[in-house]
């Protein structure tokens, strides 16, 4: 019957000890990864969350609250949801869309119209497109008059 060799070989302690010249630490490796930027985590206190939810319910946007509380917008959304508050996605009203059309046709950019209406530029663009407004390209003149 054939004898099988063991898969691992036994080493003595002297063979396992490395000298400092044989070190394989990460900083000695030529393939070392550059140091990464440490991500800052903002944890909101319960009192801050209460203030944040109250401000949101009064009409502040997630982006405004993120700036105010010096945290990410997803932190704000998570805090609002954790308190059981309803997250709004307020569509533009017909009156706001009419105003957006007028402002855009006077030469304002989608971003500026959105800022005036407290809406995202993409939302303004969708509504203008749905109304059949011809959207300007990046090199088109700003005013249609």
Residue-wise pLDDT tens digits, 75-108: 999 999 999 887 877 688 899 999 999 999 999 9
**pLDDT class for 20, splitting at 50, 70, 90?**
very low
CA distances to 21, 26, 32, 35 from 29, in Å: 13, 5, 5, 14
- Quick one: DSSP state of residue 37? P
Q: For the whole prediction, is pTM greater than 0.85? A: no
Q: What is the pLDDT of residue 15?
A: 56
Q: What is the pLDDT of residue 143?
A: 62
**82 touches 49 (CB < 8 A):** yes
- Count of beta carbons in the 10 Å neighbourhood of residue 24: 7
Mean pLDDT in residue range 49-60: 93
Q: What is the pLDDT of residue 17?
A: 53
Where do the structural domains in the chain lie, given as residue ranges? 46-82, 89-145
Q: What is the pLDDT of residue 140?
A: 81
CATH number of 89-145: 1.10.10
């Amino acid at each position: 019957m054939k004898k099988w060799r063991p898969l691992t070989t036994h080493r003595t302690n002297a063979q396992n000890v490395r000298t400092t010249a044989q070190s394989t630490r990460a900083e000695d490796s030529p393939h070392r990864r550059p140091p990464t930027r440490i991500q800052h985590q903002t944890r909101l206190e319960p009192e801050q969350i209460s203030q944040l939810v109250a401000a949101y319910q009064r009409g502040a946007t997630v982006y405004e609250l993120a700036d105010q509380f010096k945290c990410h917008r997803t932190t704000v959304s998570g805090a609002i949801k954790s308190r059981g508050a309803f997250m709004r996605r307020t569509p533009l009203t017909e009156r706001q869309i009419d105003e957006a059309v007028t402002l855009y046709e006077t030469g304002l950019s989608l971003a500026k119209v959105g800022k005036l209406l407290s809406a995202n530029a993409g939302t303004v663009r969708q509504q203008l497109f749905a109304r059949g407004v011809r959207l300007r390209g990046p090199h088109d003149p700003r005013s249609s008059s």
